Structure 1
Amino acid sequence: MKTFLICTVLSLFSLNANSQSVTSTAIVEVDRLDTPSVPLPISEIDKAQLWGLSPQEWERHNLLMLGIRGRLSSEKISPIEVLGIHAQSEAERERYAQMWAQLMLEDAERVLKFQRAYDQVIAELTKGIPLIDPKRLQNINRNNGLKLSSDDRILFFATLDCPACSVVYEQISKLQIEVISIDIYFVYVEGADQQEIRNWAQEVLISPSEVQLG
């Protein structure tokens, strides 16, 4: 038992000593950023090139992450942001800001292009499939844990190409006397569809005076 305790204490002492050594080294290196650095491994050089940074900039980023930046910021923070936050001049800060803004813009364009492609594919795959199965509505208990008060508002979202939406609204409209109002919103519509919205409202017996477009 005594031997185990002694080994444990020695291990902790060794760990603390190593931690102090690493911390001291990091501080010394950050203070000597202008001195010639040791060549980076190939993998680190590749990472620097991926972000459009020089090996020296990448090394500075690594060292900065050993300090307060690594303590306060997420580990997912980009190296460009790190260097921009700790820029050594206004010109340097502006350059990193330009780099980051350009990368964000290009990425946003890629995401939007992919989203449009996905929307097109999912629309083709689900063509003809109803948004809501009206048959399943018959098994829904209208009092199944739902308690409404007189000052509640029901928000109902529908699309023009949704035959089942009329069936759903017919069920919801029965709650009109229990709430202050039922607000209906049509999504994925253009200005040319306004007459279709009026026609839909007429079919479900909604007064034209209650239809607000915009």
Structure 2
Amino acid sequence: MKQYRTVTLLTVALLTGSTPVAVAQHAATSATVPGRERLVAIVRSDELMARDWGLGAEDWARYRELMQGPLGVYSPTLDPLTALGIEARSEEERRRYAELQVQAEARRVGKTLAYQRAYDAAWQRLFPGQPRVSLPGATARGASNTGSGRLAVFVKGDCVPCAQRVQQLQAAGTAFDLYMVGSLQDDARIRQWATQAGIDPARVRTRTITLNHDAGRWLSLGLPGDLPAVVREVNGQWQRQ
């Protein structure tokens, strides 16, 4: 193999008029360029993602490290600010990440509400007077629209308050239809969330509690506030409870 490489370098040298040493140096340099370019691209990508969350390079490196450990196994979709806040090394760090998250959430909610207003206007233009959503099973059979229907509960992954609210409803013996936002139509994702939230499988089998994909229903309801959301139909309108 060494002899073949030497012959190749000599051949290139003869064709280009360069010395074998110069050709070898050029080949070695060319081989490292793609690797350097990839490294620069990765570093640049990390810088941009860190900036999106208001974080520095050191914060982002720690987040990457945390997600390689138990935290990433238990909660693989955890956002950087929550991950860093949970694993904060001091009260000052915890307060800083909490403030950054509040600011990020404020921006997100503002954008969501702006889009919701645009969505509402578009619906009125395209389908005036037509109800926007019907939640299968969300109204008890034979119940009137006076607030006696079943509850619809909207949740999302990695949401501790969502799991707590569901546990409260279950402990009270309340029947409800659960809708998971961001489930990506993945049944396994809903089942895993329900297991982690402590939902009794027996109540699911008897349909006292049903598990459903959101499929855009939460956005279609047009209700303010974040998740979890417990809603009920009252006089044809869905209201938070």
Range class of TM-score, shorter chain: 0.3 to 0.5
